[in-house]
């Protein structure tokens, strides 16, 4: 019998997690099934319980259930505690044992940046957006000891709130916030777009001075083409512009390691996913 896993969300049809986990499993000779599970907005806990009772061993959790996933678990990793949100659940074999929750989004981003050769120590980092994704990546980013992290958000109070919440984890890093429309004119080493703006081809209002020859522009969104944010940064001479595909694969690798105790090679799976997205876009165009 294959081990049973799933990704749960609403919506869920777009998820590429099954492709990624099945590719990891083939690589390491693990027999698993990995399905997409849609749950009604008010039916997360019921859906998780039913999946577990039917032999489910673990789950990835996506929008909008990450906070509920954290609340449902009886044990948490330190990074899930920090984010108050979980994207990975582990179901112990004994029904008496509590569900364990982890959050692998942040380490996924850090591992992707590492994959691309970017070290954050002593660097200036700007994050656009102060939602769940920013909350999840802040602690792992702070652990890399950048010189500064500025969080800029449309609603600045959410940025200030995160600054306050993570004030005990900053070490030597200057963590501060500002309104999205009020970012200072200065050069950053890494600019992360953690808003969903690119998904609707929108570009937040950004000063040109953010980008220079040493800047890496990172969009958490991804698609068949470079996003509007990536294009904007490239036109201003950024060193690299990256999308969030690598983060997606790396967070999945971390969940996979937690479930199976073995770490997959992410490089071929990045290529596979890139090709799958390209083919889907081609098919959609010819419809």
Segment contacting ligand NDP (CB under 6 A): 52-60, 68-76, 131-139, 209-217? 131-139
Q: Any catalytic annotation for residue 66?
A: yes
Token look-up 């600019």 returns 191
For 287, how many CA atoms within 13 A lie in the half-sphere containing its CB?
A: 7
Q: Least distance to ligand NDP from the beta carbon of 28, Å? A: 21
Q: Which helix (H) or strand (E) holds 177?
A: strand 174-179
**Position of minimal CB gap to ligand NDP:** 131
Residues 6+ apart with CB under 8 A from 190: 113, 118, 120, 123, 124, 125, 126, 146, 215, 216, 218
User: What mask of x and - would describe binding to ligand NDP in positions 136 to 175, judged by CB under 6 A?
Assistant: -----------------xxx--x-----------------
CA distance 220 to 8: 20
Judged by CB under 6 A, does residue 105 bind ligand NDP? yes
Q: Are 245 and 280 in contact (CB under 8 A)?
A: no
Q: Does 251 bind ligand NDP (CB under 6 A)?
A: yes
Whichever of 188 and 229 has its CB closer to ligand NDP, that residue is: 229
User: At closest approach, how far in Å is the CB of 52 from ligand NDP?
Assistant: 24
Q: How far is the CB of 250 from ligand NDP (least distance, A)?
A: 8
Q: Give yes or no for a contact between 236 and 204, defined as CB atoms under 8 angstroms apart.
A: no
Residue with tokens 């996003």: 227
93 to each of 42, 52, 85, 88, how far by Cα in Å? 26, 9, 23, 16
Nearest distance from C-beta of residue 29 to ligand NDP, angstroms? 26
Binding mask 188-217 for ligand NDP (x = CB under 6 A): ------xxxx-x--x-x-------------
Q: Is 19 in the site for ligand NDP (CB under 6 A)?
A: no
* Residue (52 or 252) nearer to ligand NDP, CB: 252
Check if the beta carbon of residue 59 is closer than 8 Å to that of residue 87: no
Residues that bind ligand NDP (CB under 6 A): 105, 108, 129-134, 153-155, 158, 180, 194-197, 199, 202, 204, 220-221, 244, 247-248, 251
Residues that are catalytic: 66
């Amino acid at each position: 019998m294959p081990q049973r896993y799933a990704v749960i969300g609403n919506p869920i049809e777009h998820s590429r997690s099954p492709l990624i986990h099945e590719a990891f499993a083939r690589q390491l000779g693990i027999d698993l099934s990995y399905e997409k599970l849609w749950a009604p907005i008010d039916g997360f806990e019921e859906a998780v319980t039913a999946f577990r009772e039917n032999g489910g061993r673990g789950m990835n959790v996506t929008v909008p259930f990450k906070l509920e996933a954290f609340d449902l678990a009886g044990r948490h990793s330190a990074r899930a505690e920090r984010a108050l949100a979980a994207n990975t659940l582990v179901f112990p074999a004994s029904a008496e044992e509590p569900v364990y929750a982890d959050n692998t989004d942040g380490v996924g981003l850090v591992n992707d940046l590492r994959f691309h050769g970017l070290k954050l120590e002593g660097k200036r980092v700007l994050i656009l957006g102060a939602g769940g994704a920013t909350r999840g990546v802040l602690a792992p980013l702070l652990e890399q000891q950048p010189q500064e992290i500025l969080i800029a958000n449309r609603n600045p109070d959410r940025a200030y709130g995160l600054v306050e919440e993570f004030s005990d984890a900053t070490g030597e890093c200057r963590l501060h916030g500002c309104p999205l429309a009020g970012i200072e004119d200065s050069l950053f080493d890494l600019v992360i777009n953690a808003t969903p703006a690119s998904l609707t081809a929108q570009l937040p209002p950004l000063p040109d001075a953010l980008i220079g020859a040493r800047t890496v522009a990172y969009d958490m969104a991804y698609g068949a083409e470079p996003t509007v944010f990536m294009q904007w940064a490239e036109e201003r001479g950024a060193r690299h512009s990256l999308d969030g595909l690598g983060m997606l694969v790396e967070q999945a690798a971390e969940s996979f390691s937690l479930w199976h105790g073995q770490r997959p090679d992410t490089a071929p799976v990045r290529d596979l996913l890139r090709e799958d997205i390209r083919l889907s876009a081609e098919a959609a165009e010819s419809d």
